[in-house]
Amino acid sequence: MSALLVLAGFGMANAHAQDSQDGGNCPQLPTGSELTWEYKATGGSDFCRALRADGSEAFGLYISRKANFEPKRGNRAEEGVIDGQNVYWYKGELATKPDVEVRETLVELPDGRVAHIWLQAQAPQLAPMLGQVQSIRFPATRLSSN
C-alpha cells in the first residue's frame, strides 16, 4: 500500500486538472459521472486522479511500463470487468483508516503498459464505486487479456 500513498502524494504536486473530455492520456470517465481528471505525465508514465466536484478523489490510476503493484492471490476480493477485460480486485488497507475499504487492480493495455487502479471507500459505497471505476474506457478499443 505504500506505493499507493507515494503515488497519491506525487500526483498532488504540480498536477493540473483536466476535464472529463481532456484528461491527457487518462481513460474516458463514465458518462454522467460529473468527475474530472487531474493528470500528470512523468517520463513514460501517466498519473490520473478522478476528482469529485468537491475536489475529493473518487479513484486513481497510474499507467506505466512496469506495474508498481504486485497483487497477492490471498488478497483477492471481487471479480470485475474494465473495458472488456476481466480483472480481480485486491483488498488493501490504510493503517490510519481501518474503516475504509481499499481495492486495487491491474489492467494490461494494448501498448504493453499496465494501469494500476485503486479506490478507497466506506463499506456502503464500495460496490457503487467499483461499478463507477469499471465503467471507464481506455482510448484503445481492445485491451489484452490476462
Q: What is the pLDDT of residues 39-95, one digit of tens each?
A: 999 888 999 999 999 999 999 999 999 998 999 999 999 999 999 999 999 999 999
pLDDT at 3 over 90: no
Distance CA 55, CA 17 (A): 10
With respect to residue 59, please indicate whether it lies within any of the assigned structural domains: yes
With respect to residue 21, please indicate whether it lies within any of the assigned structural domains: yes
- As for how many domains the chain has, the answer is 1
What is the residue range of 117's domain? Answer: 2-133
With respect to residue 144, please indicate whether it lies within any of the assigned structural domains: no
With respect to residue 145, please indicate whether it lies within any of the assigned structural domains: no
pLDDT at 11 over 50: no
**What confidence category does residue 144 fall into, taking pLDDT thresholds of 50, 70 and 90?**
very low
- Angstrom distances, CA of residue 135 to CA of 7, 38, 43, 138: 22, 18, 27, 10
- The answer to whether the CB of 47 falls within 8 A of the CB of 15 is yes
With respect to residue 141, please indicate whether it lies within any of the assigned structural domains: no
With respect to residue 14, please indicate whether it lies within any of the assigned structural domains: yes
- The answer to whether the CB of 23 falls within 8 A of the CB of 10 is no
Which residue bears the cell 490510519? Answer: 96
With respect to residue 109, please indicate whether it lies within any of the assigned structural domains: yes
pLDDT at 135 over 50: yes
